Amino acid sequence: MIHIDFSHFTPPSDWVQRQQRAMQRLLEARVNGNWRDYIDSRSDLWTDLKPYLSALSRQKCWYCETKAPRFDYVVDHFRPKKRVRHANGTECEGYWWLAFDWHNYRLACDYCNSQHEGEDEEVRGKSDFFPLLHEDRRIHNPGDNLDDEMPLLLDPVVDGDYALLWFMQDGLPYPADEEGTFQYQRAETTIRLLNLKDERVAEARKALLLRCQRLIDRGEKTYLHYCNGSPAGMIEYKNICREIHELVAPDAEYSAAAKAFFKSSPLKWVRDLV
Ligand SMILES: [Zn+2]
């Protein structure tokens, strides 16, 4: 997961005008009872913002950080727009008034957004799920305060949420906080619901972390030469530092895993780089 900074994002002005007109029509459709059809008919609104959202993440899925140049990402509604499904099989009305609200949009790969069968034959994917810590505090009306809810899904646009996932050398994500805590529950729910332990993604992260380890091994030797006054050691050390910076850069695939790996190094020069 990567952190997406929405603070400087503004949709194009013509889009905002279309959104405002659509919101008016949606309120009318609520009265007429055909609001679900109207939401479906205006998918152009969130689809048209896709290039802007993609630019914010340097073409990576906001949830799993997969970068697929030929893959057509989808715009996920963080709070489901038409219905919310519960783990026990029941469902309730979705957050319809957020259907055209760009603050509710997250760029996602199809694998995170839709339901797929995992290697263990269990079906996972965000879909219409939006679990809360307290279901009885779920809001159902536009005037209600979203902050009254405690979402169990980690949110890329909330600063700090991405850091609640930690990655080990096996390429798998784990909750960063202690078991039994609320943040552990959120990380565990996110990993499970979005299938972040998917074998293919885990293998890609594992290969990346092996590359990170090889860089550290090379860097440790050259760092010692550098500290002993070797110009060649200094040049090689600088090259390794540049490579490490590239792996943790926001546009690098699975940069959160690389960052976690370097941060957990016992070597100070490595930790100081990230
Ligand atoms: Zn994804």
Query: The tokens 């780089």 sit on which residue?
Result: 273
pLDDT at position 69 is: 66
pLDDT at position 4 is: 95
pLDDT at position 70 is: 66
Q: What is the whole-number distance in angstroms between the Cα of residue 88 and the centre of ligand 1? A: 25
Sign of the dihedral through C-alpha 148, 151, 152, 158: negative
Q: What is the whole-number distance in angstroms between the Cα of residue 219 and the centre of ligand 1? A: 32
* Structure token digits, residue 88: 């026990």
pLDDT at position 117 is: 75
Q: Tens digit of pLDDT for each residue in 33-48?
A: 999 999 999 999 999 9
pLDDT at position 76 is: 96
pLDDT at position 169 is: 87
Shortest CA distance to 191 belongs to which of 263, 259, 264, 125? 125
Q: What is the whole-number distance in angstroms between the Cα of residue 60 and the centre of ligand 1? A: 8
Q: What is the whole-number distance in angstroms between the Cα of residue 113 and the centre of ligand 1? A: 7
- Radius of gyration for the chain, computed over Cα atoms and rounded to the nearest angstrom: 21
Cross-strand pairs, 105: 77
Domain ranges of the chain: 13-197, 200-271
Torsion of CA 120, 122, 127, 132, to 10 degrees: -110
Q: What is the whole-number distance in angstroms between the Cα of residue 107 and the centre of ligand 1? A: 9
- Which residues, given as ranges, of the chain have pLDDT below 50? none
DSSP-derived secondary structure for 148-160: G--BSS--TTSTT
Strands (E), 78-195: 83-85, 91-93, 105-108, 116-117, 123-124, 165-167, 173-175
pLDDT at position 121 is: 73
Question: The pTM is what?
Answer: 0.92
